[in-house]
């Protein structure tokens, strides 16, 4: 029934969002001395989303947004020592240790014995490749695709390249916007991890969880049971 299973990486297989939340807190603390207010904080969140079209997803985009908004909020008065702190923060985030979620290795062991697995992740190419290598999970995957966005056109391109029929493809991930909705749109299967942390931009209010090929679980430990229950994996 399924030929390939693909996984998202950030906040699906390993921790990610909490490092961004920590980074955001550190940024706001740096700006506090310049008289930061609530509207400025809102502005930062908006800038970050608007900048995706220029810088893509990932730490570099995050830090460039912080520098840009820092200059704007302080009307150019932000000190170079503070900009230096933001650049150091980026380097720290880029060299952060990879923390794989509990249960992931066992799950991948089981699934890779039954299906070819693919990793489909978006963000900075170098950072994603480094995290993949450091995760110790590479042995379970047949293919890795680092993409700049996860639209249905991007998924369609990947499925064509690997000659995978959409109805025989399952994507597993934490983001409705990036991992679930575009795959359902193509006619594929999608399994959403609802309890994994997700950046608010990645949550889509038009959640289509009434579709037959939409599967929802809270976390990693429930995936195997869900696949067996749906008949996608035989016991
Ligand atoms: Mg993710």
pLDDT digits (tens, 9 = 90+) for 168-214: 999 999 999 999 999 999 999 999 999 888 877 777 656 566 688 99
Task: Tell how far the Cα of 16 is from the centroid of ligand 1, in angstroms.
Answer: 8
pTM of the model: 0.91
- Alpha-carbon distance of 201 to 49, in angstroms, equals 7
Task: Tell how far the Cα of 73 is from the centroid of ligand 1, in angstroms.
Answer: 30
Average pLDDT for 109-127: 96
Average pLDDT for 129-147: 97
Average pLDDT for 73-81: 93
Question: What pLDDT score was predicted for residue 235?
Answer: 75
Residue 128 CB neighbour total at 10 angstroms: 21
Which of 196, 198, 201 is closest to 222 using CA atoms?
Answer: 196
Task: Tell how far the Cα of 58 is from the centroid of ligand 1, in angstroms.
Answer: 11
Task: Tell how far the Cα of 69 is from the centroid of ligand 1, in angstroms.
Answer: 25
List Cβ neighbours of 144 (8 Å cut-off, separation of 6 or more).
118, 119, 120, 121, 129, 132, 138
Task: Tell how far the Cα of 15 is from the centroid of ligand 1, in angstroms.
Answer: 9
Average pLDDT for 62-81: 92
Which of 117, 115, 61, 63 is closest to 88 using CA atoms?
Answer: 63
Question: What pLDDT score was predicted for residue 192?
Answer: 95
Task: Tell how far the Cα of 175 is from the centroid of ligand 1, in angstroms.
Answer: 6
Mean pLDDT of the chain: 92
Task: Tell how far the Cα of 76 is from the centroid of ligand 1, in angstroms.
Answer: 34
41 pLDDT band, cuts 50/70/90, is confident
Residue 176 DSSP code: I
Task: Tell how far the Cα of 8 is from the centroid of ligand 1, in angstroms.
Answer: 6
Task: Tell how far the Cα of 196 is from the centroid of ligand 1, in angstroms.
Answer: 9
35 pLDDT band, cuts 50/70/90, is confident
Residue 220 DSSP code: G
Question: What pLDDT score was predicted for residue 206?
Answer: 63
Task: Tell how far the Cα of 201 is from the centroid of ligand 1, in angstroms.
Answer: 11
Helix (H, G, I), strand (E, B) or coil at 143: strand
Residue 15 CB neighbour total at 10 angstroms: 16
Sign of the torsion angle spanned by Cα atoms 78, 82, 88, 94: negative
Task: Tell how far the Cα of 67 is from the centroid of ligand 1, in angstroms.
Answer: 24
Question: What pLDDT score was predicted for residue 209?
Answer: 61
Task: Tell how far the Cα of 74 is from the centroid of ligand 1, in angstroms.
Answer: 33
CA atoms within 13 A on the CB side of 130: 11
């Amino acid at each position: 029934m399924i030929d390939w299973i693909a996984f998202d990486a950030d906040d699906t297989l390993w921790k990610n969002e909490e490092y961004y939340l920590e980074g955001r807190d550190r940024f706001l603390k740096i700006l506090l001395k310049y008289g930061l207010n609530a509207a400025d904080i809102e502005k930062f969140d908006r800038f970050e989303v608007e900048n995706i079209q220029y810088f893509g997803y990932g730490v570099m985009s995050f830090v460039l947004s912080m520098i840009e908004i820092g200059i704007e909020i302080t009307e150019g008065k932000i000190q170079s020592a503070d900009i230096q702190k933001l650049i150091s923060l980026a380097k720290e985030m880029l060299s952060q240790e990879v923390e794989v979620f509990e249960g992931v290795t066992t799950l991948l062991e089981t699934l890779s014995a039954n299906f070819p697995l693919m990793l489909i992740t978006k963000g900075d190419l170098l950072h994603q490749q480094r995290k993949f290598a450091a995760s110790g999970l590479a042995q379970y995957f047949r293919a890795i695709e680092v993409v700049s966005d996860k639209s249905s056109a991007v998924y369609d391109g990947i499925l064509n390249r690997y000659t995978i029929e959409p109805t025989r493809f399952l994507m597993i991930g934490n983001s409705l916007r990036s991992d679930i909705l575009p795959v359902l749109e193509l006619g594929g299967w999608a399994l959403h991890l609802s309890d994994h942390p997700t950046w608010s931009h990645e949550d889509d209010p038009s959640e289509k969880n009434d579709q037959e090929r939409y599967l929802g679980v809270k976390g990693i430990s429930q995936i195997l049971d869900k696949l067996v229950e749906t008949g996608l994996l035989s016991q």
